[in-house]
Amino acid sequence: MYTKQQFAKLIDHTLLKPTATKQDMIKFCEDARKYHFAAVVVFPFWVTLAVKQLQGSDVKICTPIGFPYGANTRTTKIAETKNAVANGAEEIDVVMNIGALKTGDYDFVKRELTDIIDATNLSGMTQESGSTLVKVIIETPLLSKEEKIMACQICRDVEVDFIKTATGLSPNGAVEEDIKLIRSVVGPSIGVKAAGGIRTVEQAMNLLDAGASRLGTSAGVTLMQTYDPDMLLKGST
């Protein structure tokens, strides 16, 4: 069982609404600071604001790259990565090129991810070189089981830090079966981030039990307000 503090550090507090305003972002960052989430996930445009709002806190700044379908050119995704790191992003959630994967162009997918990882190591202008976490979104709802396995093998081979299930834009983003499958391929050394439709503590706990090590959700505040480790312990006895 996790303490409330431990549970908070498993959550990537996410705000990726195109209608979010500056005031929305400020309030969002205030909540992240209050609850001590692992990270905030914001669009690249808001990274500099999030850095300012969360200065001195223990909350990391994360931003998506190639969002939402990974179909940007390799050059564009590399440039996005360098710009995000230069602006203060400490973690990136990069969307794998889904079309290339489904085409079977595995060499391209591997080369692109390698180049993006290299870009984080070479562009650490605001932090120590190589300290940026790279989480790869494989968008499990759009893949067959065989494609999920191949995506995980590629991520394992290029040594990403995390594999993330989904962007949250496709149905059934985070399901226990996918977490178990990912974990079976990559073993314990790579993080697994469950994302997509996580709204309740019960969902969160089931995904963590299945092998997830991070949760991506826009319902972070609600989860923290409803998470009661004492009640969960009573329910398990």
pLDDT for the residue numbered 123: 56
| Residue 193 among the catalytic residues | yes
Q: Which listed residue (60, 161, 164, 178) is catalytic?
A: 164
pLDDT for the residue numbered 1: 84
Contact 225, 204 (CB under 8 A): no
Contact 85, 130 (CB under 8 A): no
Q: Which two tokens stand for residue 98?
A: 């889904």
Q: Which listed residue (60, 77, 135, 193) is catalytic?
A: 193
Q: Which two tokens stand for residue 198?
A: 């996580």
Tens-of-pLDDT digits for all 237 residues of the chain? Answer: 899 999 999 999 999 999 999 999 999 999 999 999 999 999 999 999 999 999 999 999 999 999 999 999 999 999 999 999 999 999 999 999 999 999 999 999 999 999 999 999 865 444 444 479 999 999 999 999 999 999 999 999 999 999 999 998 888 879 999 999 999 999 999 999 999 999 999 999 999 999 999 999 999 999 999 999 887 776 664
Q: How many CA atoms lie within 13 A of 54 on its CB side?
A: 32
Instruction: Give the phi and the psi of residue 143 in degrees, each rounded to 5.
Output: -115, 150
d(CA 170, CA 92): 20
**Cα 193 → chain centroid:** 6
Cα first-last separation, the chain: 13
Q: How many CA atoms lie within 13 A of 11 on its CB side?
A: 31
pLDDT for the residue numbered 235: 66
The string of DSSP codes covering 75-131 is HHHHHHHHHHHHHT-SEEEEEP-HHHHHHT-HHHHHHHHHHHHHHHHH--SSS-TT-
Domains of the chain: 4-235 (3.20.20.70)
d(CA 186, CA 23): 40
Q: Which listed residue (12, 93, 161, 178) is catalytic?
A: 93
Residue type, 208: L
Token pair 């079309």 is at which residue? Answer: 99
Instruction: Give the phi and the psi of residue 50 in degrees, each rounded to 5.
Output: -65, -40
pLDDT for the residue numbered 184: 97
pLDDT for the residue numbered 130: 47
